[in-house]
Amino acid sequence: MISTKRLARVIVYLGVLFKVVDVDERSKFLQGTLFALGGLLKVEARNYMETKKKYNPSFRVVCPLTQESKAAEESMQRNQRDLSDADIEFFESETGFLPVVCSFVQSIAPGKTLTSDTLDYYMDFTKLDFIDVMD
């Protein structure tokens, strides 16, 4: 099952991984991982916008949601899905998807480490109330 919360969980775990890995060792895999994660985020953002556009007539996008490359567009079409109401709520929430992405961006900054202050935030993603349920 695919969901925005599941993607958020992947982002959180990658953020933790980047925080505990030595900076010198990080360069061996950081670029490819960031590229793959960027692709996942791009797909999720497009799915969000397509879902909003489909079900909310007042929602407008500022440009066409298509890829220039035919292969890239075919990939986006294969991964297209409508977000559930819970996914949309999580995507738009001030305490949902955006803070997860911001935390990840902060985690890849040099000199960042996992502290007791941020451990509780990461532990929340392992609790039962964060597990995806089928609607």
**Tens of pLDDT along 50-96?**
999 999 989 988 887 877 788 888 888 888 889 999 999 999 998 88
Interacting residues of 97 by C-beta distance below 8 A, sequence separation 6+: 4, 8, 90, 91
Q: What percent of the chain has pLDDT over 90?
A: 10
pLDDT at 121: 66
What does the alpha-carbon distance between residue 15 and residue 8 come to, in Å, rounded to a whole number? 10
Interacting residues of 124 by C-beta distance below 8 A, sequence separation 6+: 130
